[in-house]
């Protein structure tokens, strides 16, 4: 499979709304997880955890979302409940992004979550380089101790998001070139 130029990969990655089969193979994901684990990690705490969900496990995740919504979201409408139940089926594969928070005098919990966020970006870039795609979602099921427990995580873990992964379908989003001066200040 062709691996694209690193800068082109960075400049062309986007977050597609439509994802379908094929999802990356187990072998592809092994290499992608290796790329994820190259993220910055102060004090070598290795905080990032990834839970891969595909196949019949998507239904289990749907059930967890449905149960949480029924039990913890007041006045939920039938339409919103259906949206939450259907969420795991937006892609053939999901990677749940979690951070294992470790008490450390020099590395606060926020920095550990940022390490997992950097790992997530590495996953998205590696997927794009291998001609797959992904979108990062959060919502009510991220930063949620109840959902964390239901997917098998312990109390020291925090879900920071969900990567929906597959092959991009539909129209490719055209990302406009941004004016760097709107984002960069040169301090002198």
According to the annotation, is 187 in a ligand binding site? no
185 is in an annotated binding site: no
14 marked as binding residue: yes
- Was 72 annotated as part of a binding site? no
Known binding residue 167? Answer is no
Q: Is 128 annotated as a binding-site member?
A: no
Compute the C-alpha angle 51/55/56, nearest 5°: 95
Asked if residue 62 belongs to a known ligand binding site, the reply is no
Would the annotation count 38 as a binding residue? yes
Q: Indicate the annotated binding residues.
A: 13-15, 38, 42, 136-138
Q: Which residues are annotated as a binding site for FMN?
A: 13-15, 38, 42, 136-138
């Amino acid at each position: 499979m062709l691996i694209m130029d690193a800068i082109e990969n960075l400049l062309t990655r986007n977050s597609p709304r439509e994802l379908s089969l094929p999802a990356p193979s187990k072998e592809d994901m092994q290499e992608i997880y290796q790329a994820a684990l190259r993220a910055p990690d102060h004090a070598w705490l290795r905080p990032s955890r990834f839970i891969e969900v595909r196949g019949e496990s998507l239904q289990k995740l749907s059930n967890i979302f449905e149960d949480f919504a029924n039990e913890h979201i007041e006045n939920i409408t039938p339409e919103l409940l259906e949206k939450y139940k259907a969420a795991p089926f937006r892609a053939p594969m999901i990677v749940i992004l979690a951070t294992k928070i470790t008490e450390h005098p020099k590395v606060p919990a926020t920095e550990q979550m940022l390490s997992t966020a950097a790992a997530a970006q590495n996953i998205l870039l590696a997927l794009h380089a291998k001609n797959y795609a992904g979108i990062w979602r959060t919502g009510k099921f991220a930063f949620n101790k109840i959902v964390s427990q239901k997917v098998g995580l312990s109390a020291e873990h925090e879900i920071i998001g969900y990567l929906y992964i597959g092959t991009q379908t539909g129209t490719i989003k055209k990302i406009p070139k941004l004016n760097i001066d709107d984002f960069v200040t040169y301090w002198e």
